[in-house]
Every structure is written in structure tokens, then in C-alpha cells.
Amino acid sequence: MKTWINIFWLGIKELRSLLSDFIMLMLIVYSFSVAIYSESTAISESVHNASIAIVDEDRSALSGAIANALYPPYFKTPTLISASEIDQGMDQDKYMFVVTIPPKFEQNIRQGRQPTVQIDIDATAVTQASIGNSYIQSIITKEVNHFANRSDATTAYPVKLIQRRAFNPNGTGMWFSAINALLNQITMLTIILTGAALLREREHGTIEHLLVMPLNAFQIVIAKIWSNGLVILIAFALSMLVLVEQTLDIPIAGSKLLLLLGTASYIFAAASIGIFLGTIAQTMAQFALLVLMVIIPMVMLSGGLTPIESQPDIIQPITWLLPSRHFMDFSQAVVFRVLALI
């Protein structure tokens, strides 16, 4: 009983030390609010307000229909320019896409020919350029087919495919990004807080004071783990309820209690890694380098950035040793796959 009382009061000391550190508190608040919101919403899975210009050398009804089909929110209102303005406009980053419709375009379509439409793309934004190019090709093809057939063309296929999205009906990538961002913040802050707490004791010379007291290493380590882990768990719960569920409108399909219990287990594992790194490192600089060597593989191989099945075959067995992989599977099962606490 005395052991757990010592652990409790040592943990209270750690909490007081953390709560008195204004910069660290601001880092925790930022990491579980602004950082997660930015990471979830910054990467768009579709083109949004892309700048586009049209060089209309045909000036026909068909070219006008194509220009009118390129409308918000995918594209900004198209700007009509001349062919001589293409290079200058793209060099000055005015336009991401420039569509050039050649002369006699509509006439060639009427005569059954296959005229060429040129699409110039600023590919510095690789993802947006690739997706936007597909959008433009699809829009132009649809308008040309409608004009040539005088109606919307339909094709009868011998097999009809019906797609149903499980767990995420609208295919919203932000849902997955938010959970992945939460995992990254938990991993980073838990390891940093616990390891830095141990190193701070060593640098200030108070670790020797603790060792000469009627305490053992187990009590010192567990106190640092539960106190710092409690702060991270509270920040995680508030972030899930306020930011993820309310602000980002991401539904939590499973049991919230089960999610908190699983997160507490993962925080204990991550905090143990932080303590281990804190015992190896002699200075904060060494600890920072060790943290980079540990956190980056844990984040990249967790399955959040790329599915485990898509990773090299030689790497996949190694991911079983990482707690981040198991927590990612667990959190997705609870949040999306309705794994409820029975």
C-alpha cells in the first residue's frame, strides 16, 4: 500500500511541474487542436477552386459550353486569354490549368473528325494537377459527346456494378486523416513528455535525491508514466469530443469508453518507450535525436500513411512489434467499424 501512495504523490509532483510549464501546456493544447485540424483539412481529396484559363480560338457554341461546364467549386470561373499569354500566365502562377480549343473545333466535330484539345498543366502541385486533369478530360468528353449525339449518351453494359462504401459512405478522406493525426500527436507528446521528465530530473540533479529516498526505480517510473499519461489522455478525450466529433463532424460509431481504455493502454506503451529513451540519453540533445529515430518509423509504419499491405514485404513483419500499428487498427475498428464494448 505504501508503494502506491508513494507513486501517487510522486505523480502529483510531476503534474505540478507540468502545469507550471506554460510553454509545454501551450504545446499540448496546440497539438490536440490546431495541429489536428490543420492536418485533417489541409489535404484535399478533390480539386477545389483551381485557377483555369481558356484559349478559345473557335468561338463556337461547343467551346462556350465547355467553358461554362468548368464551374466552381472545382474550378474558378475560367479566364479567357490568348495563346501568347499562356507561358507568361503559368510562369507567374496565375493559372494551374490552361485549356486551348483549336479553330474549327465544332466544325470538325460535326464532320466526324477527331480534333485535339490541348491542356497545359502546372504540375508543381502534383496531386491537384493529376486529379484536375482527369476532371477536365471528363468534362470535355461529356460536352463533346452531348453535342455530337444531341443528347446524353448512354451505354448499355452486360453487367451492372453496384458499389457500396462500408464505414465511410461518402469516401471522406478527412475522417481517416483526423484519426491518423491524433495517433501521431499521442505518440509524439507521450514519448517527449515522459522522457523529458526523466532527463529534467537528471539535469537538475534531483534524480539523486529521489534515489536516496525510500523509493525504488519502479515507483519513480510509474509515477512519471501515470501523471504525464493522464494529461495526454485528458487532452485526447477533449480533442475527440470537441474537435473531431463536433467541429470536424466525424462520427464515432463504436464505444467511446472502449476507445479511451485502448488509448490508455497505448499511452502506457508509448510512455514506457519515452522512459527507455530517457534512460539511454545523457542530454536533451541526444534525447531529441533518439526521439526522431523512434517516432518517424512508428508513424510511417503504423498504417496511417499507407496501408500495411502496401508496404514492402520485408517491413510488414516488423510492424507487428510497433504498438502504433496495433493502436491504429484498434482505433479504426472502434471509430469506424462499430466495435462496441459488451
Helices assigned H by DSSP within the chain = 2-19, 22-31, 34-42, 61-69, 86-91, 105-110, 126-149, 173-204, 206-212, 217-238, 256-280, 284-300, 316-319, 323-335
| pLDDT-derived band at 340, boundaries 50, 70, 90 | very low
Domains of the chain: 2-42+172-335 (no CATH), 52-149 (3.40.1710.10)
Average pLDDT, the chain: 83
Reported as a single tens digit per residue, the pLDDT across 204-239 is: 667 666 666 777 777 878 888 888 889 999 999 999
User: Bigger pLDDT: 216 or 257?
Assistant: 257
Identify the top-confidence range among 178-187, 232-241, 329-338: 232-241
How far, in Å, CA of 158 to CA of 156, rounded?
A: 7
The dihedral built from the CA positions of residue 180, 181, 186 and 192, taken in this order, carries a sign that is positive
How far, in Å, CA of 227 to CA of 277, rounded?
A: 18
Q: DSSP state, 120?
A: E
Instruction: Report which of 183, 172, 206, 243 is spatially closest to residue 29, judged by C-alpha positions.
Output: 243
Reported as a single tens digit per residue, the pLDDT across 127-136 is: 778 888 888 9
| pLDDT-derived band at 97, boundaries 50, 70, 90 | very high
How far, in Å, CA of 61 to CA of 217, rounded?
A: 81
User: Looking at residue 93, what is its pLDDT?
Assistant: 84
Among 14-23, 35-44, 93-102, 165-174, whose mean pLDDT is lowest? 165-174
User: Looking at residue 155, what is its pLDDT?
Assistant: 61
Among 77-86, 128-137, 147-156, 244-253, whose mean pLDDT is lowest? 147-156
What is the pTM (predicted TM-score) of this model? Answer: 0.72
| pLDDT-derived band at 266, boundaries 50, 70, 90 | very high
**Strand, coil or helix: 99:** strand
100 pLDDT above the threshold of 90 = yes
Reported as a single tens digit per residue, the pLDDT across 7-57 is: 888 788 888 888 888 888 898 889 888 888 887 777 666 677 888 999 998
Burial 178-209, CB ≥16 within 10 A → b, else e: bbbbbbbbbbbbbbbbbbbbbbbbbeeeeeee
User: Bigger pLDDT: 342 or 167?
Assistant: 167
Specify the pairing of strand 79-80 against strand 97-101.
Answer: unpaired
How far, in Å, CA of 283 to CA of 328, rounded?
A: 31
For the chain, percent of residues with pLDDT exceeding 70? 92
Task: With beta carbons less than 8 A apart as the criterion, state whether 339 and 333 touch.
Answer: yes
| pLDDT-derived band at 338, boundaries 50, 70, 90 | low
Among 154-158, 226-230, 245-249, 257-261, whose mean pLDDT is lowest? 154-158
Average the pLDDT over 50-73 and give the result: 88
**Strand, coil or helix: 80:** strand
